[in-house]
Amino acid sequence: MCGIVGLFLKDKALEPRLGEMLSEMLITMTDRGPDSAGIAVYSDDHEGQAKLTVQADDPSRFAGLDEDLSKALGCDVTVRVKDTHAVIDLPEAKMAEARTALKELCPDARVMSAGEVIEIYKEVGLPGDVAKRFDIPHLAGSHGIGHTRMATESAVTTLGAHPFSTGADQCLVHNGSLSNHNSLRRQLAREGITVETENDSEVAAAYLTWKMQQGHSLGEALEAGLDDLDGFYTFVVGTKDGFGVVRDPIACKPAVMAETDQYVAFGSEYRALVNLPGIEEARVWEPEPATVYFWKH
Amino acid sequence: MQTFDLEANGLRALNEALQAQSQQTNETAWQVVNPRGSHAIAVGLDAPIEVRVKGSTGYYCAGMNKQASITVDGSAGPGVGENMMSGTVIVEGDASQYAGATGHGGLLVIKGNASSRCGISMKGIDIVVQGNVGHMSAFMAQKGNLVVCGDAGEALGDSIYEARLFVRGEVKSLGADCIEKEMRPEHVEILRDLLERSEVDAKPEEFKRYGSARKLYNFNIDNAY
């Protein structure tokens, strides 16, 4: 199983409530996956600024990181610690340098996401607990994706939790299992794309990153995935300003979508959508097999 | 009319109340409010009662139904009317995958579209879909009638044993051993009756009939690898 939720806001007035709505949707999906949970949120874009979300099992490792990083990079860096995660706000131009410096300054820290607007929080545990630990209901943003996992292809660990981010501001969540992930992983390695975990879903994320690096849009990358990814999948993916959904041709992993003037919403089940504003009047449908759905701000 | 608030009283209490109705019950009209996409609403009923669910449902609504008439005032999740034996189930909106799976009898009417695997392994149920059905519908169908007023997706009737498939619109492709068959007068009558009972405004003559070529009944060495 696994439960997926996604929310892409069209109405800016709803943006302060993104985290709250997304958390509630994900908590409804708890019984689809008890192993780990995670949420990616796309928030305000500050010109020239970027952020890095990192995780360490022992958050005391983050003590003094802001000063150390500021000194190493020669610029102002702020670090917001939230439980086992820390969001590092820094100038966009310093991103590569910061990732190198981080390996030295805080070797235990593992990068969850990097980009201009994305923040990813994920941990082992139930959606309700994860949402509480990271105060997700208070996060604002333009779009977000959540996942609660029932592990099949790799271990129940923080790094094995979804969403997976393999490129700047990109993320993917997956319900299903891929059967050609090992050969694809080797193929991606030859292309210089590193996949960090043994997880099949991360390979799918890396595949899309690779396609987008070659100049494809997210929609085109998803289309290509229909030919190259073998197995069962319902994917929900996010980019800096986009939100996409695709299901494999067999389409046995459930999916429901709803659209109003205010939002586009995704749920593994309709239950996840019932508290959204105006859901009674929304256009509700089941995404077609082997069909790419894509929205952009 | 009995009104049951599912959110306030819970699923177990609902199904216990509905399953406890006897053949002679006077409480024949029930309404379920606040279904909110919950699973297994009104399953295993065995009395001639009418149940109206005021909203959309999750997995397996009206499963294993006997005698009861159940209406979903919304859309239904996967497996609506699964393994029903008799009675009537009506979905006012769309139905998700494997609607009416393994059904032995009764009538399932879907007023919107049904997605993939509608009527998979059907064993005597009648299913009438006013819209389209998705891929692999009537897969391994054994008995009964599937009526599709719109179009059918890929591999309709794959590995079908028996069962009659009537489609008014396009069929994207037929599955293994499923072929178009002659529409004889008795088939027109069966279809007319089903359309009338489902209150569908369509003429039986507009449909084509599909069924088993019966080539997979026996082992054929040419099919072995």
Give B-chain residues touching A250 at CB under 8 angstroms. Answer: 116
Judge: A271–B36 Cβ closer than 8 Å, yes or no.
Answer: yes
For residue A273, the chain B residues in CB contact (below 8 A) are 37
Decide if pLDDT at B224 tops 80.
no
Which residues of B are less than 8 Å from A289 in CB distance?
116, 134-135
Residues B141-155: tens digit of each pLDDT: 999 999 999 999 999
Task: Give the pLDDT confidence score for residue A153 in this predicted structure.
Answer: 83
In a domain, residue B220? The reply is no
pLDDT of B38-78, one tens digit each? 999 999 999 999 999 999 999 999 999 999 999 999 999 99
User: Does A46-116 carry CATH code 3.30.70.2750?
Assistant: yes
Token output for A186: 């080797």
Q: What would the two tokens of residue A127 be?
A: 């959606």
Q: Is A60 exposed, middle or buried (0-12, 13-18, 19+ CB in 10 A)?
A: exposed
> Number of folded domains in chain B?
2
Picking from A249, A254, A272, the nearest residue to B96 by CB comes out as A254
Rounded to whole angstroms, how far apart are CA atoms A140 and A128?
Answer: 18
Residue B60 lies in a domain: yes
The whole-angstrom distance between A52's CA and the closest CA on chain B is: 38
Q: Do A284 and B56 touch (CB under 8 A)?
A: yes
pTM, two decimal places: 0.95
Q: B45 and B141 share a domain?
A: no
- Please tell me if the domain spanning A3-44+124-296 has the same topology as the one spanning A46-116: no
Indicate if B60 and B124 belong to the same structural domain. Answer: no
Note the ipTM here.
Answer: 0.93
Residue B177: give the domain boundaries.
Answer: 97-214
- Residues B113 and B189 grouped into a single domain: yes
Q: Which residue of B has its CA nearest to A281?
A: B74
Instruction: Based on the fold, state whether residues B58 and B162 are members of the same structural domain.
Output: no
Low-confidence ranges of chain A (pLDDT < 70): none
Distances (CA, A) of B34 to A102, A278, B19, B41: 51, 15, 19, 11
Of B53, B137, B43, B51, the residue nearest B93 (C-alpha):
B53
Who among B37, B59, B96 is closest to A286 (CB)?
B96
Q: Which residues of A are catalytic?
A: 2
pLDDT in tens, B158-214: 999 999 999 999 999 999 999 999 999 999 999 999 999 999 999 999 999 999 999
Task: Give residue limits of the domains in chain A.
Answer: 3-44+124-296, 46-116
The CATH code of the domain at A3-44+124-296 is 3.60.20.10
Average pLDDT, chain A: 96
Q: Give the neighbor-by-neighbor strand order of the sheet with A143-149.
A: A118-124, A36-42, A143-149, A3-9, A263-267, A256-259, A283-285
Q: For residue B192, give how far its alpha carbon lies from the nearest alpha carbon of chain A (Å).
A: 30
Q: Nearest residue of A to residue B94 by CA position?
A: A285
Q: Which residues contact B134 (CB under 8 A, 6 or more apart)?
A: A251, A288, A289, B97, B113, B114, B115, B116, B117, B118, B153
Q: Compute CA distances B58 → A252, A271, A274, B28, whole Å.
A: 15, 7, 11, 24
